[in-house]
Amino acid sequence: MSDASNPFAAMMAQAQEMAKAMNPALESFSPKGFETLWPTMPKEFMEMAFGKGVSKDGLDAKTRLLLTLAGLTMLGAQSDTQIRMTVRHALEAGATKDEIAETIGMMSMFAGLPSMTRAMETARGVLDEHEEEGKET
């Protein structure tokens, strides 16, 4: 930690060294792997938990997830994991590729182009995986 020009980089390097010392398998650890531990919820469960279960005239799960995606886009780069998971769940709830892109695109006016671009790139990765699996978008 002798490099005073970037204390964050030094802190991260030290944390990685500590993690490797405790468990050598952590050398190749990626936080993105946590996403695979959280399954995609079925649309019916999302409707029960987040949508029509509370108010039959309330927002459906797809609309709620698109609103969540808009909010996450506003947060910017700190929400990549949440954006990927929300896009995955929005697709399951019936959102189309165009609806997801439009939701993120609308946020350029409020969050700025860098946040919108980052969210769009993140979402595109999920949409590409979804298409590779042969699912409709």
| C-alpha span between 95 and 100 (Å, rounded) | 7
Query: Collapsing DSSP states into helix, strand and coil, what is residue 56?
Result: coil
Q: In CATH, what class is 38-132?
A: mainly alpha
pLDDT digits (tens, 9 = 90+) for 64-87: 899 999 999 999 878 898 999 999
Query: Domain segments of the chain: what residues?
Result: 1-30, 38-132
Proportion of the chain above pLDDT 70, given as a percent? 82
More confidently predicted of 37 and 4: 37
Burial (CB count <10 Å: 0-12, 13-18, 19+), residue 61 = buried
More confidently predicted of 8 and 55: 8
pTM value is: 0.69
More confidently predicted of 3 and 81: 81
8 A C-beta contact, residue 100 and residue 87 = yes
Name the token pair of 88: 């995955």
Geometric angle at alpha carbon 57, from 56 and 60, rounded to 5° = 80
Tell which phi-psi region holds residue 40, choosing left (phi > 0), alpha (psi between -120 and 50) or beta: beta
Predicted confidence at residue 91, as pLDDT, reads: 95
Sorted by sequence, the CB contacts under 8 Å of residue 56 that are 6+ apart come out as none
3-class SS shares of the chain: helix, strand, coil, % to 5: 75, 0, 25
CA atoms within 13 A on the CB side of 4: 0
Predicted confidence at residue 1, as pLDDT, reads: 46
